[in-house]
Amino acid sequence: MKTLTTVVLLGSTLFLSLTAVAQVDEIKRESASHSTSSGRETRNVSSSDSGDSNSLSGEAAWFIVKLPIYIIGGIAEWQDYKIEKKKINPSVISFDVMLQGAIQPSTYYILQPRVRGNWGLFSTDFRMNYIIEESIDGTKELRTDDWQILQLNVVTTKNIIARIGGGVLHENFSGGKTFSEWTAGVHLNSNSGKVGGMVEYRWSDPRDEWNAHFQYRVFQHGAANGYVTIGAVQQEYYSKINVWGVQGGFMLRLF
């Protein structure tokens, strides 16, 4: 992680330097303002002051050019470090297919078919969220497509994977509006991998959601692992409409 440490140290140094310069400029402006109002004469900027300013500009320009190089190098190093974790937690590199549904008896159903790809530091996650409601006027339904374009697996230990990410929520109704959506989640695994679970929070302008389930492995064949899941989901639309249900389903994970 030497590259990441270098980036942090350089960033901190430049930040402190720029903060100090900003404060100095404020003092100089206040000094000039008070001197002018009192009729006192202000001195001209010396050549050494000009040299310091040019030196600072050169340092800032160098940092701006080098920063992307350090960031890319740091990310590559972090990815290599995460890939190594596959030895202790195979799900670091995996593909998940989830077929989950929730029900609030005699009111409505929530169906959430979902796929997720995991590759070391990175994940991407796509699901469809259906709400089907039965009423005296017949069956009504609505759907959103939720794509977490990029998630970062910031914690990857034997028993815990924690990720944060961002993407889009697309409403397939009312003109098909699209919003930004963010997630934070924690996945738990036992030492044997037979049992585990997940807690996830999603938030966006139209909807906030809590989603949690317990999973139990029912078969393992080569790279394929099958789990049954049971849990709950709670959604709040536009800060006023609550939808919730008891959830169950099946998950297939390919290592």
pLDDT tens per residue, range 83-110: 998 989 999 999 999 999 999 887 889 9
The pLDDT score that the predictor gives to residue 7 is: 40
What is the residue type of 178? Answer: T
- Taking the C-alpha atoms of residue 50 and residue 188, their distance in angstroms, rounded to an integer, is 58
Q: Tell me, what DSSP letter sits at residue 157?
A: -
The pLDDT score that the predictor gives to residue 62 is: 64
Same domain, 103 and 51: no
Q: Residue 44 sits in which domain range?
A: 2-86
- Taking the C-alpha atoms of residue 208 and residue 137, their distance in angstroms, rounded to an integer, is 28
**Domain total of the chain:** 2
Query: What are 230's two structure tokens?
Result: 């049971």
| Farthest-apart Cα atoms in the chain, separation | 88
Same domain, 61 and 126: no
- Taking the C-alpha atoms of residue 145 and residue 68, their distance in angstroms, rounded to an integer, is 33
User: 136 — phi, psi (to 5°)?
Assistant: -65, -20
Boundary (domain end) residue, out of 40, 71, 86: 86
Same domain, 174 and 232: yes
Structure pTM?
0.74
- How would residue 37 be classed by pLDDT, with cut points 50, 70 and 90? very low
Predicted confidence (pLDDT) at residue 215 exceeds the cutoff of 80: yes
Asked whether the beta carbons of 213 and 100 are under 8 A apart, the reply is yes
Predicted confidence (pLDDT) at residue 155 exceeds the cutoff of 60: yes
**For the ranges 51-65, 79-93, 104-118, which has the lowest average pLDDT?**
51-65
The pLDDT score that the predictor gives to residue 18 is: 40
Helix (H) or strand (E) holding 161: strand 160-171
Cβ-based burial of 43 (10 A; exposed 0-12, middle 13-18, buried ≥19): exposed
Same domain, 37 and 114: no
- How would residue 54 be classed by pLDDT, with cut points 50, 70 and 90? low
Same domain, 140 and 197: yes
Asked whether the beta carbons of 148 and 129 are under 8 A apart, the reply is no
The pLDDT score that the predictor gives to residue 233 is: 97
Predicted confidence (pLDDT) at residue 40 exceeds the cutoff of 50: no
CATH code, 207: 2.40.160
Q: What is the pLDDT of residues 222-242, one digit of tens each?
A: 999 999 999 999 999 999 999
- Which of 86, 95, 92 lies closest to 253, judged by CA? 95
Beta-strand ranges (E) seen in 7-159 are: 93-104, 108-119, 122-135, 138-156
